[in-house]
């Protein structure tokens, strides 16, 4: 059998030498989420102020450690940092003008990575953490598949940074890059893979929301859970339910899925394809979750187009998708990613799964949120507003919204008039805000004499 020892040795390079390959005006793509490079990033950041100029660094869902290219160049003369999906780190960097958002529907990322019409966006250098090379010469993308292979193949230089602590996630599809397809190999310092802390205890409002949603799930449903404490809570509640024969197709594999497996809820027997396997594109979770997905043949790591394409999602029956939102207006426009002009997260795959679930036979898409929130001064605000906060991004257009859920109930908005939507939303609002919302609806001409006073 062929060995790759000599080829491997010939491509070995230090992080410092790899960083010196970057030139002014280059585009650098970092690996997805917790697969972003660590050693290369440190070495590249040391070149700030050295004559290197206007290097664009693109990340996705930035996690700890904070990228050194952000910290090293506050004047942004050398590096400009961009993120496809904002996290707390990206938000804080954005507050100081050190990061900019790249809006996109997540399932389109694979197409952008491969489609020659977008070759002007392809990177000069792609660099990602990967697992150690296997005996077939392959490096696994671990918890950051997404669209990594397309980025690697279409970059001018492809570099891998090996981390022995990354879980190896089996395919699926496109979960690897071969040694013949990379230009350089960095043997990294094997920093622990970023792991999320356990979710905080659920509030009474979140528990009520979860109960409303779990009550709508049927045996054999194919589940997607979004990012955040509430989707994880719902997954744990599913694990404790009497449901059976559930399937999983989700852009992210989250902690609650492990419990759903452990309690025997997940079999994937009733999926239209990928039968007996849970399909996902990346993972952010605890170390226990990483241990579960490592070399697990029950799971399939795939490109994000494969997991998130609405047409393919809809091929499964009874798809149930569950995601968080930040606010919604009386026109039923949903914002899930910004507070006014402040970018909080991103569209991600939310719209992908809203559309896919609706077109699934028996499918349901749930957008969940607590009816109110407190600001820094402790003042309570309604998440249901007459109009979205000025500058807020419409993540899900009103024409696509299916179910909305708060602690006060759930509403199916499909097919409702503007008057019907306003009434349904006000019924979901906290009672303290309902009178004001009714007055606003009247001013907006979306409250008729036939509307019922919310209870």
pLDDT tens readout for residues 47-74: 999 999 999 999 999 999 999 999 999 9
Residues spanned by CATH 3.40.1080.10 within the chain?
11-187
Whether pLDDT at 455 is above 90: no
Whether pLDDT at 2 is above 90: no
Tens-digit pLDDT profile for residues 388-425: 999 999 999 999 999 999 999 999 999 999 999 999 99
Q: Is 251 labeled as catalytic in the residue annotation? A: yes
Tens-digit pLDDT profile for residues 75-124: 999 999 999 999 999 999 999 999 999 999 999 999 999 999 999 999 99
Other C-beta atoms closer than 10 Å to the C-beta of 170 total 17
Tens-digit pLDDT profile for residues 154-173: 999 999 999 999 999 999 99
Q: Give dist(CA 81, CA 98) in Å, integer.
A: 7
Q: Give dist(CA 189, CA 39) in Å, integer.
A: 7
Tens-digit pLDDT profile for residues 235-291: 999 999 999 999 999 999 999 999 999 999 999 999 999 999 999 999 999 999 999
So what's the pLDDT on residue 201? 87
Q: Give dist(CA 167, CA 130) in Å, integer.
A: 9
Residues spanned by CATH 3.40.1080.20 within the chain?
204-443
Q: pTM of the full predicted structure? A: 0.96
CA atoms within 13 A on the CB side of 183: 15
So what's the pLDDT on residue 449? 81
Which neighbouring-strand residues pair with 323? Answer: 367
Name the token pair of 315: 């091929």
CATH 3.40.50.720 fits 11-187, yes or no: no
DSSP 333-401: -EE-SEETTEE-S--TTHHHHHHHHHHSTT-EEEEE--SEEE-TT--EEESEESSPPTT---SB-TTT-
So what's the pLDDT on residue 1? 60
- The answer to whether the beta carbons of residues 346 and 101 sit under 8 Å apart is yes
Whether pLDDT at 127 is above 80: yes
Look up the CATH architecture of domain 204-443. 3-Layer(aba) Sandwich (3.40)
> Which member of 251, 327, 337, 423 is catalytic?
251
Whether pLDDT at 7 is above 90: yes
Residue of 185, 184, 188, 177 lying closest to 152 (CA atoms): 177
């Amino acid at each position: 059998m062929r060995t790759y020892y000599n080829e491997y040795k010939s491509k070995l390079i230090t992080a410092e030498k790899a960083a010196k390959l970057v030139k002014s005006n280059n585009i650098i793509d970092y690996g997805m989420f917790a697969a972003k490079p660590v050693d290369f990033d440190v070495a590249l950041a040391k070149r700030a102020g050295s004559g290197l100029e206007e290097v664009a660094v693109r990340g996705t869902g930035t996690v700890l450690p904070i990228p050194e290219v952000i910290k090293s160049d506050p004047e942004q003369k050398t590096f400009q940092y961009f993120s496809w999906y904002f996290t707390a780190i990206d938000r804080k960097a954005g507050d100081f003008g050190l990061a900019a958002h790249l809006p996109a529907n997540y399932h389109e990322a694979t197409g952008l990575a491969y489609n020659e019409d977008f070759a002007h966006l392809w990177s000069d250098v792609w660099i990602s953490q990967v697992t150690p090379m296997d005996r077939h010469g392959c490096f696994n993308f671990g918890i950051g598949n997404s669209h990594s292979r397309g980025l690697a193949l279409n970059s001018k230089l492809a570099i891998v940074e090996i981390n022995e602590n990354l879980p190896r996630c089996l395919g699926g599809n496109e979960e690897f890059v071969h040694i013949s397809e990379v230009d350089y190999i960095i043997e990294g310092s094997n920093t622990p893979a970023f792991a999320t802390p356990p979710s905080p205890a659920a509030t009474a409002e979140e528990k009520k929301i979860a109960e409303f949603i779990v009550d709508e799930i049927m045996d054999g449903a194919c589940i997607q859970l979004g990012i955040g404490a509430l989707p994880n809570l719902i997954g744990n509640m599913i694990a404790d339910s009497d449901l059976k024969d559930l399937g999983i197709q989700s852009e992210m594999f989250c902690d609650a899925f492990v419990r759903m497996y452990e309690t025997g809820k997940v079999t994937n027997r009733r999926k239209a394809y990928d039968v007996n396997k849970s399909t996902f594109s990346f993972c952010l979770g605890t170390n226990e979750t990483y241990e579960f997905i490592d070399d697990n043949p029950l799971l399939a790591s795939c490109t994000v187009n494969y997991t998130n394409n609405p047409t393919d999602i809809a091929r499964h029956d009874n798809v149930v998708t569950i995601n968080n939102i930040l606010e919604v207006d009386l026109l039923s426009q949903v914002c899930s990613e910004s507070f006014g002009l402040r970018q909080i997260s991103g569209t991600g795959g939310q719209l992908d799964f809203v559309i896919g679930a609706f077109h699934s036979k028996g499918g349901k898409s749930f957008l969940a949120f607590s009816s109110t929130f407190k600001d820094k001064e402790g003042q309570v605000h309604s998440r249901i507003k007459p109009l979205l906060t000025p500058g807020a991004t419409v993540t899900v257009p009103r024409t696509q919204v299916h179910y909305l859920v708060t602690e006060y109930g759930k509403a199916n908005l499909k097919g409702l008039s503007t008057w019907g939507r306003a009434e349904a939303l006000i019924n979901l609002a906290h009672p303290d805000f309902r009178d004001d919302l009714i007055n606003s609806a009247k001013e907006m001409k979306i409250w008729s004499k036939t509307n019922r006073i919310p209870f």
